[in-house]
Amino acid sequence: MIYPQFIQIHKSHELGDEYINAVDTLEPWSEIDPKDFLDDQLRKAIGGVQIVPGDVARQVGYNPTQQAVVPESVELMPNPRGDTRFRKGLGTAGTGVAIADVFRLRHKKAGRFENVVN
């Protein structure tokens, strides 16, 4: 498993919510303002920045059907700690690598598949 060693993270949860709420009107990548983000260094693979080949993920039970699955409600993903169990299952925290332009949106509804758009 690898992960980006350095990322850009929103300065606040409120600013991240603004980006999420504007998602229907943003052109892909064109309206991301780097001034809205801070540099952050990761020390392990977390959540959406864990990068692992699909066959490896399926071997340890991560979506074994090979089909895209999008939870329809929070009840389908009640525990936001799946990334911790996944790392433990692989026996590694991952290896940090240089990947350019990784932006992480901070938002108030962290860890849940729930619509935050107004």
What is each CA distance from 5 to 25, 33, 43, 111, in whole angstroms? 30, 21, 7, 21
Residue extents of the structural domains in the chain: 2-104
pLDDT tens track for 20-78: 887 766 666 567 888 999 999 999 998 788 898 888 877 877 666 666 665 555 554 45
Pairing mode, if any, of strands 6-10 and 37-41?
A: antiparallel
What is each CA distance from 97 to 2, 53, 74, in whole angstroms? 7, 15, 32
- How far apart CA 51 and CA 94 sit, in angstroms, is 9
pTM for this prediction: 0.70
